[in-house]
Chain A
């Protein structure tokens, strides 16, 4: 379908803006772009396939609610993973999977089958492999910055100290690294 092909070419910022105006095809494109990465991150953190699937739904519901607040500072990877991290923390704090965003949207609960749990693993393999492999291929400066920021959850201030550079330079390295990763992912 021509429309979805077009959306696949859009930047994250363009997709998220279109999500704000109710463009479901843009949401779909964004979801497909980040589903594997989010799944990989959540499965790595929880080690639980059911919890991962449940949290994935919450994360993408939150993405929709927060789309209007997204600032175009490069690829949305860190932003999405930031949402995933917050949802994970909130879930751990409360001892149950967070579902506030889904409630706000009026989301109908979904059922999980065994095949779905296998799909969680498959997605995570794809996302994790993609992400980790591509991070390793980055130039050293960018690789260290992306590793620490995205996989290590370091703040930019912490990152600047770790990398012995200014916060601005740290941001730039993360941004460049992620842009490179996204370009490679999209080129596959």
Chain B
């Protein structure tokens, strides 16, 4: 019996739903690095303004984590990971990578509860503390995460698996609090699931066309490392009508690209970023955009306070992240330029 229209509609849209999430990554060029190593996959972190339930907050974190750029797997040479692979190879390899990894990122494996576990009273890695001054300042009562609304837990879901003594409220802007939250494990898969994904990949590899095998292995292992257990930071925003977070980014990636997200607002978007020490301001340069309220090129500069920048931009949520970013030190010298390509 042939499939009905509404069943076919459901099937096709569900497939596109999955496809779309996998496509949602950007490539950024970091000047000053060699060509092969210059492409950093930076997730559209935080893409979304968030809804108020703690469970949903956890979901956003998953979104961010699933897409973020993580460090190279231990033992892999510089320039390894997913670098040096052409777009064409990437496209061809992607279905095989997904087939190997997706079952491991199933509901049970991607459950934050199984990944995160309890809070940690320990300290994050030195490399992380070294690049984020806000984590080095003494803890204050205002740094305590607000309790989850209506929940029996005393801390919200997003703080599960956090180094609670190192959670810092970095800023409060327009009634919204921005917390920097170092995580014991910012991955979305626990070690068991990561190992399961690796085993599945090893099993599938011989069935993959020989010409693609190397690329698939490289991409899949990179992705397993991204999704598997690793220490990282999330930036959480809570306030009236908003409660969300993004990131899951390790120290090395914060140093290179920071973490940026945007929330849709009534007048455009609010861009929020976490930046390493030394960055005093961020200028975002937007090119002309057809169909936008602000079709002409313009730029906006925001100060960085306690490693966090917050700025309102007259662009819609996603487009607000489509800009060239110039990081500047307090004396005005350019530290880094990040441009989309």
A57 CA / B84 CA spacing, docked (Å): 39
A106 CA / B16 CA spacing, docked (Å): 8
Question: Do B4 and A32 touch (CB < 8 A)?
Answer: no
Number of A-B contacts (CB under 8 A): 113
**Does residue A137 face the partner (Cβ distance < 8 Å to B)?**
no
A132 CA / B17 CA spacing, docked (Å): 31
Question: Do B52 and A72 touch (CB < 8 A)?
Answer: yes
Question: Do A27 and B47 touch (CB < 8 A)?
Answer: no
A21 CA / B66 CA spacing, docked (Å): 8
Residues of B within 8 Å of A156, CB to CB, are none
B-side interface size class? 35 or more
Question: Do B13 and A27 touch (CB < 8 A)?
Answer: yes
**Does residue B9 face the partner (Cβ distance < 8 Å to A)?**
yes
Secondary structure dominating the interface of B:
helix
Nearest A-chain residue to B10, judged by Cβ? A31
Question: Do A116 and B6 touch (CB < 8 A)?
Answer: yes
A149 CA / B107 CA spacing, docked (Å): 35
Question: Do B317 and A111 touch (CB < 8 A)?
Answer: no
Question: Do B49 and A14 touch (CB < 8 A)?
Answer: no
Nearest A-chain residue to B15, judged by Cβ? A24
A114 to chain B, nearest CB (A): 11
Which of B8, B13, B107 has the most CB atoms of chain A within a 10 A radius of its CB?
A: B13
B40 to chain A, nearest CB (A): 21
Question: Do B16 and A64 touch (CB < 8 A)?
Answer: yes
Residues of B within 8 Å of A27, CB to CB, are 13-14, 17
A31 CA / B16 CA spacing, docked (Å): 13
Give per-residue flags for B4-33: 1 if the beta carbon is below 8 A from chain A beta carbons, else 0.
Answer: 111011101111111111101000000000
Give per-residue flags for B36-79: 1 if the beta carbon is below 8 A from chain A beta carbons, else 0.
Answer: 00000000000111011101100110110010000000000000
A11 to chain B, nearest CB (A): 7
List of 5 A-B pairs having minimum Cβ-Cβ separation, nearest first:
A22-B21, A72-B51, A116-B5, A24-B14, A17-B59
By a beta-carbon cutoff of 8 Å, the part of chain A in contact with chain B is 3, 6, 11, 13-14, 17-28, 31-32, 35, 53, 56-57, 60-61, 64, 68-72, 105-108, 110-113, 115-116, 119, 123
